[in-house]
Structure 1
Amino acid sequence: MKSIRLFSLLALTIIVLTSCETSYRFTINTPKKAVLNDKITISLKEENNQSFEKALFFVNGKEVSAQNNSFTLDTKDYGVGKQMISAMVYYGEGKTKRVNNSVEVFSNIPYQAYTYKIINSYPHDGNAFTQGLEYHNGFLYESTGRKGQSTIRKVELKTGKVVQKIDIDERYFGEGMTIYDNKVYFLTWKANKGFIYDLETFKKEKEFAYGRSKEGWGLTHSENELIKSDGTNRIWFLDATTQKEKRSIQAYNHKQKIPKLNELEYINGKIYANYWQKPLIAIINPENGIVEGIANLTGLIKEMRKTQTLKEDDVLNGIAYDKENNRLFVTGKNWKKLYEIELIKQQ
């Protein structure tokens, strides 16, 4: 009988404590969607009208100032993409509760659609599983993937001849590469590390670890930053000297996010990015993530199929730019041709 009473008392205590705890229900009020340059009022509400001591607000993990349990989020300060809103609420006797929500910010302008025309075509190694492509001092530099087949190579543009090559350790699945300050920066896929090579000798000099971006996909550079994709819609900016991640943007147009960004090229202040498994290139503003243009290269797939049977993985991947002569080159995984193309605005 005593055990039954003890059990009943324990159960009642649990119910009372649980009831006290759940009497506090907090909600962050924010619209689910917004457009860039909108100013959004975000507030905290206690659903049962219970009083609480204070609340600290955070946007993407960084504290923001607030008054009267609300603040204004100016979307132009954060760019497009899903912005994470959270609050740490202090209530009761030293109790705290974290509450989360988000707002998805879309571009405030429609993107420019592009088609293309072929200017030239050149031979390309049909066994090169292209992951990175760059034009430098009259040559193409290319990284290829798959374990046991990953390479970095220097290639003659007009002949497709490989004039210099190193094989990557078979433990690694090679991904994107870029040339910066006479060094080749090279990514691996899931090993969470990249390598740095001397441009002239291809001798490995250093390796670096990724940060919050867990995978390596595409790589390019601006004047002072390395620019990296990780297979999502997010693009990361790395300090060129330390290879540490500094910031990131999310690629969005006025309708949707652009996922699976792959090979990258930085051209005249914009980021050009392949979509994985789609014959499209997004043109992205590096400051705010807005997809300002989309080039549809579906016709290149049809062109390739005239002379080559393409397998499922033989997708468009590889963008290189000759700044001096304003030439844009594209190719694909295991393609036997590399194309010089001109992008044309569609009306």
Structure 2
Amino acid sequence: MSRWLLLPLLALAGPAGAAPPQAASAVMARQPALVVPVIVRRTPHDPAAFTEGLVWHGGALIESVGLEGRSDVRRVDPVSGKVTLRRTIPAAQFGEGLALWKGEAISLTWHDGIAHRWTAATLKPLGTMRYSGEGWGLTSDATSLIRSDGSATLTFHDPATMKVRRTVTVTFAGRALDQINELEMVDGQILANVWHQPVIVAIDPRSGVVTRVIDLRAIVAEVGARDPEAVANGIAWDGKARRLFVTGKRWPTMFEIRLPK
């Protein structure tokens, strides 16, 4: 876990530690901007869903749910939170991140190296693709699928073959930031959950530099989850209506949030 991530957040509130003023100033100059989201609305979310991936498609949310024997992909009504369509993943596999690509939904598996392809509208299975390494989060840009694997590395894949095109290292204030989890592309930046951290980071996909930190501490506190694995995980962007949705594993609530400009 990147435990040191909380230290820069605390530093934004004032001096910390015994670093000389010049050194502290240099560190602060590299800090990404800290932003606090505004909650627009709350809607129900399946409290049993171990959320791993979330996207917006055709007026609904598509969600990838994990855990062996309980993994599936599902279409969810954004108002009621009810599951309207569900497709299961083989019981031995742990479902992970999810992305859209040209009318398809692509979902990862944690350790199996299998990416499942589904028709986004109906979740009809379309086959599988193979990749090397772990699957955590997934998103897409105009040309690639972008995968996280729990490290500080984001891997850009050919969407047709999963062949690796390039990689980039995520850095926070000049240091590699690992535990990158669920991903969502928003206005040319990758938004990412960080495992066990009450934040979302905005990442420049070209350089890997974290440009902003979205503070979810108030939302996490409101959820009040007692399960240590019920962490913030799940980001979906409705680009047409410019709505941003966030939730977490086993959270009873889906939040629509607005970020300050």
Q: TM-score, normalised on structure 2?
A: 0.86
- Counterpart in 2 of 1:130? 51
Taking the aligned partners of 1:126 and 1:155, their CA distance within structure 2 comes to 13
Q: Does 1:321 align with 2:237?
A: yes
Please report how far the alpha carbon of residue 255 of structure 1 lies from its aligned counterpart in structure 2 after TM superposition. 4.0
User: Please, which of 84, 96, 101 is the counterpart of residue 180 of structure 1?
Assistant: 101
> Is the 8 Å Cα contact of residues 30 and 174 (structure 2) preserved in structure 1?
no
Q: List runs of 5+ in structure 1 lacking aligned partners.
A: 1-105
Superposition CA RMSD, Å: 1.7
> Is the 8 Å Cα contact of residues 155 and 164 (structure 2) preserved in structure 1?
yes
Taking the aligned partners of 1:177 and 1:215, their CA distance within structure 2 comes to 14
Please report how far the alpha carbon of residue 140 of structure 1 lies from its aligned counterpart in structure 2 after TM superposition. 0.3
SS of the residue aligned with 1:334?
coil
Query: What pairs up with 1:140-219 in 2 under 5 angstroms?
Result: 140-211=61-132, 214-219=133-138
Please report how far the alpha carbon of residue 207 of structure 1 lies from its aligned counterpart in structure 2 after TM superposition. 1.4
Taking the aligned partners of 1:328 and 1:210, their CA distance within structure 2 comes to 29
Taking the aligned partners of 2:196 and 2:173, their CA distance within structure 1 comes to 22
Taking the aligned partners of 2:121 and 2:214, their CA distance within structure 1 comes to 34
User: Please, which of 164, 168, 173 is the counterpart of residue 249 of structure 1?
Assistant: 168
Taking the aligned partners of 1:254 and 1:315, their CA distance within structure 2 comes to 24
SS of the residue aligned with 1:344?
coil
1:79-125 per-position Cα deviation (integer Å, ceiling 9, x unaligned): xxxxxxxxxxxxxxxxxxxxxxxxxxx9x843111111111011100
Match for 1:313: what amino acid?
Answer: E
> Is the 8 Å Cα contact of residues 75 and 83 (structure 2) preserved in structure 1?
yes
- Counterpart in 2 of 1:73? none
Q: Does 1:302 align with 2:221?
A: yes
Match for 1:190: what amino acid?
Answer: H
User: Please, which of 152, 175, 181 is the counterpart of residue 233 of structure 1?
Assistant: 152
Please report how far the alpha carbon of residue 200 of structure 1 lies from its aligned counterpart in structure 2 after TM superposition. 3.3
| Larger proportion of strand | 1
Match for 2:124: what amino acid?
Answer: K
- Counterpart in 2 of 1:343? 259
Please report how far the alpha carbon of residue 310 of structure 1 lies from its aligned counterpart in structure 2 after TM superposition. 3.0
Match for 2:160: what amino acid?
Answer: T
Q: Does 1:333 align with 2:252?
A: no
1:36-60 per-position Cα deviation (integer Å, ceiling 9, x unaligned): xxxxxxxxxxxxxxxxxxxxxxxxx
Please report how far the alpha carbon of residue 198 of structure 1 lies from its aligned counterpart in structure 2 after TM superposition. 2.0
Match for 1:233: what amino acid?
Answer: A
Q: Give the aligned length.
A: 235
Regions of 4+ moved over 6 Å? none
Q: List runs of 5+ in structure 2 lacking aligned partners.
A: 1-26
Please report how far the alpha carbon of residue 270 of structure 1 lies from its aligned counterpart in structure 2 after TM superposition. 0.5
> Is the 8 Å Cα contact of residues 57 and 120 (structure 2) preserved in structure 1?
no
SS of the residue aligned with 1:264?
strand
